[in-house]
């Protein structure tokens, strides 16, 4: 049985249909209110999700404001230049190995939170976000999906001027302003995905389609990323990996985000983010 793990008022919740279930209550105390700890016990998450009684929901989905599903991960990594067309539009050669940067966890925001502009060169990047569900070191690509608890929709919002301000580009700070990491709406367990290796991903700004691709076109796919990252460091439950963005970002044309814009980010079978820019 799959699960959708969300966050209401800083407490982990399971979502089934339009019912929202406080995880600690629904699990009879077996699991607590903290997402990282719950993701370290994914077998229990699956079990609890499978036994939810719709009559005992704590809230209706329409009545709650969702926070970032994993608000306090230990690590948040991002991958640059990971779709062929995006490499071409930004003038990058295809990378020989994954290009990895950190996104500081304080940038994480919820699926309907505002993106608060820190510069006039702020760009959108629709991305598939992996949520790790096991301690993982030296994982072979053949079993890489086994350590992924689920996925989310993410926006790797990026301050292009700051990102390229260093003598050599330094991605981390330009991608870590407060609110520059919308995620959600839920961690969707991988068994609920229509095709985990080919998920349709789109980004619209004010209703205009800017990005439209599929994760089948990742240069380094999910197994390759998990194998590579876990060969260099230990991934832990709750860690997030932003897997890179398709073509169509604002950078090549200077079409950056402006106050009042609505950024709509969708991955079919996972969900959507709707973030207003201010």
- Residue numbers of the site for Zn ion (CB under 5 A)? 125, 156, 245
Locus of tokens 């990742």: 218
Closest contact distance (angstroms) between CB of 258 and Zn ion is 20
Q: How far is the CB of 175 from Zn ion (least distance, A)?
A: 7
- Spatial CB neighbours of 182, under 8 Å, sequence gap ≥ 6: 68, 108, 109, 110, 111, 113, 115, 154, 155, 157, 263, 265, 273, 275
In the three-class reduction of DSSP (H, G, I as helix; E, B as strand; rest coil), residue 176 is classed as coil
Give least dist CB 56 to Zn ion, A. Answer: 39
- Residue located via tokens 């690509």: 141
Considering the complex, what minimum distance in angstroms separates the CB of residue 15 from Zn ion? 26
The pair phi, psi for residue 219, each rounded to 5°, is -70, -55
Of 8 and 201, which has the nearer Cβ to Zn ion?
A: 201
Can you tell me which residue has the tokens 């629709």? 126
Structure tokens at 239: 């860690």
- Report the C-alpha gap between 18 and 186 in whole angstroms: 13
Q: Which is nearer to Zn ion, 146 or 272 (CB)?
A: 272
Q: How far is the CB of 200 from Zn ion (least distance, A)?
A: 18
Q: C-beta of 125: minimal distance to Zn ion in Å? A: 4
User: Nearer Cβ to Zn ion, position 12 or 76?
Assistant: 76
Q: Cβ closer to Zn ion: 156 or 204?
A: 156
Paired with 260 in beta bridges are none
Which DSSP helix (H) or strand (E) runs through 172? helix 171-174
Q: Which is nearer to Zn ion, 113 or 125 (CB)?
A: 125
Nearer to Zn ion, 32 or 95 (CB): 95
- Residue 61 or 79 having the CB closest to Zn ion: 79
For the chain, the farthest-separated pair of C-alpha atoms sits apart, in whole angstroms, at: 59
79 forms beta bridges with: 100
Give the shortest CB-193-to-Zn ion separation in angstroms. 21
Q: Where is 48: in which H helix or E strand?
A: helix 42-50
- Decide whether 42 or 158 has the Cβ nearer to Zn ion: 158
The residue of the chain with the least Cβ separation from Zn ion equals 156
Q: Which 3 state secondary structure label does DSSP give 184?
A: strand
Any idea which residue has 């349709």 for tokens?
200
- The answer for residues whose C-beta is within 8 angstroms of residue 71's C-beta and 6 or more apart is 7, 10, 35, 108
Q: Are 160 and 169 in contact (CB under 8 A)?
A: no
């Amino acid at each position: 049985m799959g699960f959708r793990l969300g966050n209401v008022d800083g407490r982990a919740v399971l979502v089934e249909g339009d019912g929202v279930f406080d995880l600690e209550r629904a699990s009879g105390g077996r699991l607590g209110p903290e997402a990282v700890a719950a993701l370290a016990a994914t077998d229990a998450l699956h079990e609890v999700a499978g036994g939810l009684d719709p009559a005992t929901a704590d809230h209706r989905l329409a009545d709650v404001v969702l926070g970032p599903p994993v608000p306090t991960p230990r690590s948040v990594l991002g991958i640059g230049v990971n779709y062929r067309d995006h490499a071409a539009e930004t003038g990058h050669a295809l990378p020989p190995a994954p290009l990895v940067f950190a996104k500081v966890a304080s940038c994480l925001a919820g699926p309907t939170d505002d993106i608060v502009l820190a510069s006039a060169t702020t760009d959108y990047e629709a991305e598939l976000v992996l949520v790790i569900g096991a301690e993982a070191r030296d994982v072979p690509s053949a079993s890489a999906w086994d350590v992924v608890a689920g996925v989310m929709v993410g926006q790797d919002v990026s301050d292009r001027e700051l990102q390229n301000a260093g003598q050599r580009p330094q991605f981390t700070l330009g991608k870590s302003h407060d609110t520059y990491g919308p995620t959600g709406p839920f961690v969707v367990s991988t068994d609920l995905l229509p095709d985990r290796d080919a998920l349709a991903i789109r980004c619209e700004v004010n209703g205009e389609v800017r990005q439209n691709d599929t994760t089948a076109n990742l240069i380094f796919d999910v197994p390759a990323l998990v194998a590579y990252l876990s060969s260099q460091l230990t991934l832990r439950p709750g860690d997030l990996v932003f897997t890179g963005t398709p073509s169509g970002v604002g950078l090549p044309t200077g079409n950056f985000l402006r106050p009042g814009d609505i950024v709509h980010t969708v991955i079919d079978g996972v969900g959507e983010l709707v973030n207003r820019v201010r």
